[in-house]
């Protein structure tokens, strides 16, 4: 297993035009590869997204017809890089859409898929109402993907708020956690950094969190600030606002070091919740 590599997180503002978004993301990815990145991660719905009030409309195709997958398979073969396609809209046989991550290996093969489990159905006030489940079908299975550097736990955006998912990924062999997102500006300013740092600290994992920035077609604004965080919770890179990418050198020995210093994963215990009357006895 390789101990060190360079990670890149792409940061874009997706339009409804899938081909424009592919062009932008490929351009940024090629620059990241030239800077030595071996794993390149893109945000949630980086290939196309628009808003319509409470409804989220990703650009969606059936998997076999999705133009993003062959485009990045070709980039993987040409660059020798791994690609985490943060998420794509993928049409299902019943007419709904999955919010799906893809891990592409350097041979251009799909190494893993993950369908977002937790749906962003929230009312933030100030007219900011979101109903992801109106167009998206949730997944049901957690995924730890094998890479040359260790297990990569897959998640997407709103999943970040469910600590139990990441605990399960860590116990399932993840030493790295991917959190591609299109986090809203309102919630991002309040919670993005602290939640990503918490997931890294509590599980002794690296966190790779590419996030869209800017105003989306039809309304909605994404926070940006794509993050790379080490297992001790230190922010190694922050994408700020605007188009581009960030990179960091990853040393997988830091995972073992953090888990040795704080061996919380070995201290998990089953929690039995007592009724108030029983607790008082």
Token pair 């006895």 in the structure block, residue: 281
Strands 97-104 and 82-91: antiparallel
Q: How far apart (Å, rounded) are the C-alpha atoms in residues 273 and 31?
A: 52
Provide Rg for the chain, Cα atoms: 18
Q: Which helix (H) or strand (E) holds 276?
A: helix 276-280
- What does the DSSP assignment read for 16-46? S-HHHHHHHHHHHHHHHHHTT-SEEE--TTT
The 10 Å Cβ neighbour count of residue 236 is: 16
Rounded CA separation 18/40 (Å): 19
- The residue annotated as part of the active site, out of 116, 185, 221, 254, is 116
Nearest to 7 by CA among 252, 256, 260, 258: 252
3-class DSSP state of 11: strand
Q: Which of 126, 190, 147 is nearest to 3 (CA)?
A: 147
Bridge-based pairing state of the strands 110-115 and 55-58: unpaired
Q: Choose among 181, 194, 192, 51: nearest CA to 128.
A: 51
Q: Residue 61: name the closest of 75, 51, 71 by CA.
A: 71
Q: Which of 13, 41, 44, 211 is catalytic?
A: 44
The answer to whether residue 116 is catalytic is yes
Task: Identify the active-site residue in 9, 41, 157, 205.
Answer: 157
Residue 78, C-beta contacts closer than 8 angstroms, at least 6 positions apart: none
- Per the structure block, which two tokens stand in for 199? 């997931």
Active site residues: 44, 116, 157
């Amino acid at each position: 297993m390789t101990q060190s590599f360079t990670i890149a997180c792409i940061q874009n503002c997706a339009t409804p035009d899938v081909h424009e978004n592919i062009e932008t993301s490929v351009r940024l990815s090629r620059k990241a590869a030239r800077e030595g990145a071996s794993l390149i991660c893109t945000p949630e719905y980086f290939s196309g997204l628009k808003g319509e009030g409470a409804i989220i409309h990703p650009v969606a195709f059936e998997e076999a017809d999705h133009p993003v997958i062959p485009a990045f398979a070709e980039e993987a073969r040409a660059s020798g890089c791994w690609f985490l396609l943060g998420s794509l809209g993928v049409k299902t046989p019943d007419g709904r859409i999955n919010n799906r991550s893809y891990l592409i290996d350097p041979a251009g093969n799909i190494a893993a898929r993950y369908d977002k489990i937790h749906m962003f159905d929230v009312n933030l006030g100030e007219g900011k109402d979101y109903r992801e489940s109106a167009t998206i079908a949730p997944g049901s299975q957690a995924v730890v993907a094998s890479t040359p550097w260790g297990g990569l736990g897959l998640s997407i955006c709103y999943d970040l708020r469910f600590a139990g998912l990441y605990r399960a990924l860590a116990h399932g062999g993840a030493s790295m956690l991917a959190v591609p997102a299109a986090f809203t500006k309102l919630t991002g300013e309040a919670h993005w950094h602290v939640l990503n740092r918490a997931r890294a600290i509590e599980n002794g994992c690296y966190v790779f969190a590419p996030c869209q920035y800017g105003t989306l077609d039809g309304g909605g604004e994404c926070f940006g600030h794509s993050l790379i965080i080490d297992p001790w919770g230190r922010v190694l890179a922050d994408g700020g606002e605007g188009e581009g990418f960030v990179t960091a050198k990853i040393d997988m020995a830091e995972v073992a070091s953090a888990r040795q210093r704080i061996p919380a994963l070995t201290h998990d215990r089953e929690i039995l919740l007592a009724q108030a009357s029983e607790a008082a006895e």
